[in-house]
């Protein structure tokens, strides 16, 4: 069996998350007059999370990867990092989509409200996560919705959930998110 390589697992996880919530694109003719994001594009850039915060979460800031294998996804901005052993990943997805639209997606399961510094926040899982690898904390962040994904490269036993670690990571990342 061919290895997915260093970025294969997080890239597949990122693709899964975008399939989970869907993505759209708009075509605009003419020339832009302002540097503001297009409608539906997020304002927040996840790659701006400070290095010291990333180290506190347990990931290596030097492992930063933008987008999905370097390809910008319409309506999304994402950045991910891994721990030194490449067994644990954190990916931050920002979108201009409303939180309710993501919660209503048919691929989203098990939404559970969580307390995240007074923000609207939920843990969510994907129907397709058969290896028990991921948990997302979905949160409002300024005008955007942000998914803070915690992934385990080898998954977890069915008796364990990745969500407690995802919530802990979200609590550490929350001060770096826009209000």
Domains of the chain in sequence order: 8-22+39-176 (3.40.1000)
- Per-residue pLDDT tens digits of the chain, which is 179 residues long: 334 454 454 444 454 555 445 444 444 454 544 345 556 689 999 999 999 999 999 999 999 999 888 888 899 999 999 999 999 999 999 999 999 999 999 999 999 999 999 999 999 999 999 999 999 999 999 999 999 999 999 999 999 999 999 999 999 999 999 99
pTM of the model: 0.79
CB 60 within 8 A of CB 82: yes
Handedness of CA 9, 105, 136, 49 (dihedral sign): positive
Residues β-bridged to residue 121? 139
Would you say 49 and 59 are in contact if contact means Cβ atoms under 8 Å apart?
A: no
Query: Cα(49)–Cα(46) distance, rounded to whole angstroms?
Result: 6
How far is the C-alpha of 124 from the C-alpha of 21, rounded, in Å? Answer: 11
């Amino acid at each position: 069996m061919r290895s997915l390589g260093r970025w294969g697992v997080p890239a597949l996880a990122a693709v899964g998350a975008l399939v989970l919530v869907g993505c759209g694109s708009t075509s605009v003719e003419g020339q832009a007059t302002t540097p503001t994001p297009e409608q539906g594009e997020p304002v927040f850039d996840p790659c701006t999370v400070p290095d010291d915060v990333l180290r506190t979460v347990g990931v290596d800031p030097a492992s930063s990867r933008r987008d999905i294998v370097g390809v910008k996804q319409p309506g999304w901005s994402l950045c991910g990092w891994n721990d030194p052993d490449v067994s644990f990943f954190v990916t931050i997805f920002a979108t201009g989509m409303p939180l309710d639209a993501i919660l209503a997606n048919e691929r989203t399961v098990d939404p559970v409200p969580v307390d995240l510094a007074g923000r609207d926040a939920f843990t969510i899982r994907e129907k397709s996560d058969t290896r028990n690898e991921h948990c997302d904390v979905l949160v409002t962040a300024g005008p955007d919705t942000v998914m803070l994904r915690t992934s385990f490269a080898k998954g977890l036993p069915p008796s364990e959930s990745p969500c407690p670690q995802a919530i802990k990571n979200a609590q550490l990342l929350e001060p770096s998110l826009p209000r």
